[in-house]
Amino acid sequence: MKDENKPFNDVIDHFNKIEGNAANLAKTNIKKLSKPLKYFGYFTIGSISLSILLIIILNLLN
């Protein structure tokens, strides 16, 4: 599992270094984020989810 994030060739490795792609993105710990950033994320995801749910409900009623 240690080689899971290892690039499979030099081109991908170069691309990741130049573009700044996070190789360890899967290991991101949300608990380490600041409170305002966490709350903004929760609000955004909640708003999008609620909007989609309301759109579905209103389309069914119409």
* pLDDT tier for residue 50 given thresholds of 50, 70 and 90: very high
Rounded Cα gap, residues 46 and 38, in angstroms: 12
More confident residue, 47 or 24: 47
Least confident piece of the model among 2-11, 23-32, 40-49: 23-32
Q: Is residue 2 predicted with pLDDT exceeding 80?
A: no
